[in-house]
Amino acid sequence: MLNAQNNLVFNQVLNFNITTSDTATVPEGKVWKIERAQETIIADKQDVNYGAGSIGGYYYGTDNNNALWFSEGTTIRSNANFMSLSILEFDVVPTSTGTGSGTGGGGVSSDGLVFEEAMSITLTRTQVLNSNASLFGEITIPEGKILKIFNVSTYALLSSGDTQSEGNGMIYIGDELFSPSLNNNIALIRFIPSGTYTVKLDWGTSSVPNRIVVNALLYSIP
């Protein structure tokens, strides 16, 4: 019989970029769950309880949908010139402290969040910036909520009333970059914290889609 000494309690979402010259270290008393890293992470962590410490250990990117977990004191860097990261940060709390409770519509998920609802957000083009870029309005995530985006698609609503699927270009939700699902067989999951985010499409051709559909799960913080 095993008795856990600590709980992992969700703290915050972290979204940032690192390069080969940058490092980021998991703070004391924290654990990082890296949900999105499109390049290989190099991790350094010594003074471990089991085996040998990691010096320059390679952890391949999360585009295969496998999250990466790192304990406090682990320093990470990128093997590429540019890498964006989407991270869930947890507090390590003794079991006697408890984890709190949420008021959402479901139980606490494996990410330490309380499920609220599944969402399909349709955005229409609001402004043409230039021949390659258009704005598609905003997405607002309420205070105390987190949006888990797992699919983004682009469509053209034709004058005939038919819908044409697209699959190119680059979609920005705030500073987070997404590739349309039809052009990418692997879902790049991102966690987006509360706030208001401008949605922009960089297309690069004369025929620009006029619909963006974002499929996501809304969670509340316990």
Residue 171 has pLDDT above 80, yes or no: yes
d(CA 43, CA 77): 7
The per-residue pLDDT for 101 is: 41
The per-residue pLDDT for 98 is: 46
The per-residue pLDDT for 195 is: 94
Q: Give the contacts of 121 (CB within 8 A, at least 6 positions apart).
A: 139, 213, 214, 215, 216
147 in Cβ contact with 55 (< 8 Å): no
Give the chain's mean pLDDT: 78
The per-residue pLDDT for 55 is: 73
Best-predicted range by mean pLDDT (48-52, 82-86, 204-208) = 82-86
d(CA 220, CA 222): 6
The per-residue pLDDT for 89 is: 92
* pLDDT tens column, 8-50: 788 899 988 888 888 899 999 999 998 888 788 888 887 766 6
The per-residue pLDDT for 137 is: 92
The per-residue pLDDT for 213 is: 85
The per-residue pLDDT for 19 is: 82
Please give the full DSSP string across 161-202, using - where no structure is assigned: S-EEE---SEEEETTEEE--GGG-SS---EEE-SEEEEEEEE
Count Cβ neighbours within 10 Å for each residue of 2-12 and write b for 16 or more, e otherwise. eeeeebbbbbe
Residue 153 has pLDDT above 60, yes or no: yes
**From residue 22, how far is each of 5, 40, 176, 189 by CA, in Å?**
34, 14, 19, 23
pTM score, two decimals? 0.60
The per-residue pLDDT for 111 is: 67
Answer with the residue of higher pLDDT: 181 or 135: 135
Residue 135 has pLDDT above 90, yes or no: yes
Q: 200: pLDDT confidence band, cut at 50, 70 and 90?
A: very high
